[in-house]
Amino acid sequence: MLFTSFGFVLFLTIVVFAYYLLPRAAKPVVVLIANIVFYAFSGWQGLICLAVTIVTSWAAGRKIDDLSRLGENPKDANLPDFDPKSYARQIKAAKKKYMLFAVLLNLGILAVCKYTAVSPILPMGISFYTFKAISYVVDAYRSKNSGTATRSLLEIAVFVSYFPEIVQGPISRFSDLRKTLFERQPFQTKEFSLGLRRVLWGYFKKLVIADRLMPAMLLLAADPDKYAGGYVFLAIILYAVTLYADFTGGIDITIGAARMMGVRVSENFNSPYYARSIMDYWRRWHITMGTWFRDYLFYPLNSSKFMTTVTKPFKKLFGAKASVRIHVALVTLILWVTIGVWHGSAWNFVAWGLANGIVIILLQELMPLYKRFEKNTKFAGTAVFHGIQIAFTFFLMAFINAFDIYHGVGEALGAFASVFSKGGFSLLLDGGLDGLAEIGLAVPDVLCAGAGVCLTILVGVISRRTAAAQDAQNAQDFSVRICLMQTAVLFFLTLVFGAYGIGYEAKQFIYNQF
């Protein structure tokens, strides 16, 4: 069920009504039924994989929790030969077994379904719910206290299969989501209206900007020989804008839909195109994925015996300081290649991951130089310099992300090269408006998407300015009326200027494929 379909709007309306009309105790059941119904629209077969992940995570979490309780209250603590350290080690080893079992099993299902031809289906959102399940089990394992994992199968089922975030994230943590997901909250006008406005804002970005630009972008990317030079540059910029509007729009719908029911889902973006470096960008873009890989891959790998062994020879060759840098660089590369592969099994994604990793390593190596420049040059602190940094980061990420849109690494590199070799922008400039119309960007499309982008930037600037005073949401003087008026404006803007219905192919969110 597409978020942008009338079916989803109807589905969400029914769920929200049921959520508030039924007794509070029934709310988790309502959400679970909604999750199952939503998931079943993508095919019932996927439900089997989802059920396996839920049950194994729940069972492992429960066992780990039992062991944590045992660790807290050892039965034999009063015996004279009781060794607390040895007991703790035993408990930890037992917990580790359950954790590894659940993690490896679920990673195995993910690998088989996503990367092999063995599975006849690719369950919807498998990358996202598997990561949620893994974080749940690992967090339970890492916690020194019992109670991190839930003992309720219903709760874990609701969490893993939570319908607003199953198709494209965010990858919420159980500890974050449980605070509001299982709270028996009454209807709150403020939460509901904020959620509704967020949903409409998401639809606006998706339908007015992303779906209007996407056909042109796909057309340009489909034939890089014909659309070379300036057109490649245009494709890359279009993709940057489309990807942003599409992904953040989808997440807005997710967060808004959850919030309409009083559930706070983790934020996934923080003005990523205002980032002043690629590292900064990745702290702002798809935040929950970044923190997931940081917490469950980067840190464990960085401190693992394996990596220490691998980088040991470098210590003798280049010295201790350099070997540490090599160690981190290697872990960074592994991390980014893994992130690339998580996005998909094609070489494009590997290249995309490598490009990210290499650029990050290079920039980290250049960091001391930059620090010196920043310290000694007044210009470094000016708004102009910040603007240059922002623009540089935007174009850099736009180029790296463009690996996604071409059919192969070679094709992507060839297209990039043509920007500099095939007459630059003359093709575009000569074609003018006709040239744009030829690629499916008629004047109304440009006007619509352009106005949409301007509004998005304006909203971004306003919300950044007022960020300190809010969440606008928490401010005392928050006005439901103004919020609903904004919602109505967004509704009508999307209704009229959205690219949907006949003549526009309904487009899945880009991140759904991952």
Q: Each residue of 399-427: b (16+ CB within 10 Å) or e?
A: bbbbbbbbeebebbebbbebbeeeeeeeb
In the complex with another protein, the residue whose CB is nearer, 429 or 495, is: 495
Q: Three-state DSSP class for 113? A: helix
Shortest gap between Cβ of 456 and another protein (angstroms)?
20
Q: Between residues 300 and 444, which has the closer beta carbon with respect to another protein?
A: 444
- The residue among 355, 343, 351 whose CA lies nearest residue 511 is 343
Residue 502: CB minimum distance to another protein, A? 5
CB of 45 to another protein, least distance (A): 24
**Least distance in angstroms from the C-beta of 368 to another protein:** 54
Q: Smallest gap, in angstroms, from Cβ of residue 207 to another protein?
A: 10
Q: By the criterion CB under 8 A, which residues form the site for another protein? A: 6, 443-444, 481, 484, 488, 491-492, 495-504
Q: Which is nearer to another protein, 190 or 276 (CB)?
A: 190
Choose between 420 and 492: whose C-beta lies nearer to another protein: 492
Least separation, in Å, of the C-beta of 487 and another protein?
A: 10
Rg (CA), the chain: 25
Of the two residues 163 and 500, which places its CB atom closer to another protein in the complex? Answer: 500
DSSP secondary-structure letter at 266? P
What CA–CA distance (Å, rounded) separates 279 from 266? 20
Is there a cis peptide before residue 170, judged by omega within 30 degrees of 0? yes
| Residue number, 6 or 17, with CB nearest to another protein | 6
- Residue 78: exposure state from Cβ atoms within 10 A (0-12, 13-18, ≥19): exposed
Q: In angstroms, what is the minimal distance from the CB of 126 to another protein?
A: 29
| DSSP three-state, residue 104 | helix
DSSP one-letter code for 474: T
User: Is 252 exposed, middle or buried, given 0-12, 13-18 or 19+ CB atoms closer than 10 A?
Assistant: buried
CB of 327 to another protein, least distance (A): 56
- Find how far residue 390's CA is from the centre of its chain: 21
Nearer to another protein, 187 or 373 (CB): 187
Rounded to whole angstroms, the Cα distance separating 416 from 352 reads 13
Nearest CA-CA partner of 133 in 35, 46, 58, 34 = 58
Strand ranges (E), 396-454: none
- Work out how close the CB of 485 gets to another protein at its nearest, in angstroms, rounded to a whole number: 8
Q: 20 or 336: whose CB is closer to another protein?
A: 20
Question: Which tokens go with 443?
Answer: 């004047």
Cβ contacts of 365 within 8 Å, gap of 6 or more: 325
Using the minimum distance from each CB to another protein, give the nearer residue, 108 or 444.
Answer: 444
Which of 111, 119, 123, 102 is closest to 167 using CA atoms?
123
What is the C-alpha separation between 383 and 403, in angstroms, rounded?
31
Cα distance between residue 438 and residue 159, in whole Å:
47
Nearest to 151 by CA among 68, 48, 73, 34: 68
Looking at the Cβ atoms of 107 and 488, the one nearer to another protein is 488
CB of 501 to another protein, least distance (A): 6
